[in-house]
């Protein structure tokens, strides 16, 4: 075989390999199309989140989001946000009795808003407390019931925290929200 014939045979192979690499990389780097899949019982909380964002002039898109319920998750993890490059943000909610089934509306909303804070607002956990001991943010890692009523009627007025909702939602969208009077 002469050296002249060799380049002729390799050139089509090189072109094919280069085209495969280019098109292979091109197709895998494209993001998936937008998907919106949210359970019907979660949808009212999504509508509330959109309304709260609109009130605060905080544009946030919820059209590319997947939320699912899973049972069998670790008992103390009620929700998780998954952000994978090129894929829609995904939230899994623990459907156990503690996390969802026995939770009141404010606790459910707090859980959904907390996970949306991670997935859509790119917020991280924050463990800071106010002088009165309350968490500074709904984005704390331990308690999504920061503006919920009491589960058990113990503690009187201190136990019912529904009047704190406006602050926690403000802070969710604007982390520089000043400390409220009730936190001193």
Q: Give the DSSP H or E segment for 60.
A: none
The predicted model gives 60-87 an average pLDDT of 90
Give, in order, the Cα–Cα distances in Å from 56 to each of 97, 159, 164: 33, 28, 16
What is the β-pairing status of strands 65-70 and 90-94?
Answer: parallel
Residue 66, token pair as written in the block: 């997947």
- Nearest by Cα to 66 from 45, 32, 37, 95: 37
CATH class as words, domain 36-183: alpha beta
Across the chain, what does the average pLDDT equal?
84
| Mean pLDDT calculated for residue range 97-112 | 94
104 Cβ partners below 8 Å, 6+ apart? Answer: 148, 149, 151
Of 18 and 136, more confident: 136
Structural domain spans, the chain = 36-183
């Amino acid at each position: 075989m002469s050296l002249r014939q060799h380049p002729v045979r390799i050139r089509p192979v090189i072109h094919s390999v280069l085209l495969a690499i280019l098109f292979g990389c091109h197709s895998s780097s494209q993001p998936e199309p937008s998907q919106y899949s949210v359970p019907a019982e979660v949808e009212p909380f999504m509508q509330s989140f959109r309304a709260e964002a609109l009130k605060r002039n905080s544009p946030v898109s919820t059209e590319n989001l997947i939320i699912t319920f899973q049972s069998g998750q670790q008992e103390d993890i009620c929700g998780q946000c998954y952000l994978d490059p090129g894929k829609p943000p995904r939230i899994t909610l623990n459907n156990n009795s503690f996390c969802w089934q026995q939770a009141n509306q404010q606790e459910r909303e707090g859980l959904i808003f907390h996970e949306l804070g991670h997935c859509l607002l790119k917020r991280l956990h924050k463990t800071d407390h106010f002088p009165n001991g309350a968490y500074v943010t709904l984005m704390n890692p331990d308690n999504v019931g920061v503006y919920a009523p009491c589960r058990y009627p113990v503690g009187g007025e201190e136990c019912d925290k529904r009047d704190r909702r406006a602050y926690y939602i403000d802070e969710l969208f604007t982390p520089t929200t000043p400390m409220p009077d009730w936190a001193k």
